[in-house]
Each structure stands twice: as C-alpha cells, then as structure tokens.
Amino acid sequence: MDPIKIDDVPKPIKGISCSVSNCHYHDGNTLCLAGKIAVGPSSATACKDTLCATFKMKEEDQ
C-alpha cells in the first residue's frame, strides 16, 4: 500500500460550517472537506431557498 501524502488528506474549508452528517464531505463534526462548494440556485430570495450543489450522499460503509 502506498503511503498517504500530506497533500492527499482532505482539509476543511475555512469559514464553512456543515451539519449534513450524511454527506460524503462531512467530517463527522461540523466541517466540510470538499475542495470547494457550489451553492445555488441563483434565483434564491431567502436562505431557505438555497442548497449545497456539492452534496454527495455518504456511502453506507463509511
């Protein structure tokens, strides 16, 4: 097995808090480990109208 390089370890996005524990990028606490996020839609007029387009369902074995 190849050793893990420090650059291969996902780092949390500074200033982003996430509570979606079933997301692949959720760290198990409150941080997002996606390299970047996309939020939309552009037609949103309130916070409740937005969504994280980066969301990816966590696989069962994780």
Split at pLDDT 50, 70, 90, the class of 60 is: confident
What is the residue-averaged pLDDT of the chain? 87
What pLDDT, in 10s, does the model give residues 34-57? Answer: 989 999 999 999 999 999 999 999
What pLDDT, on a 0 to 100 scale, did the predictor assign at position 58?
A: 94
- Average pLDDT value for residue range 14-36: 93
Inform me whether the pLDDT recorded for 4 exceeds 60. no
Domain count, the chain: 1
Inform me whether the pLDDT recorded for 30 exceeds 90. yes
From the centroid of its chain, how far is CA 26? 5
User: Domain residues for 55?
Assistant: 1-62
Sign of CA dihedral 47, 37, 15, 11: positive
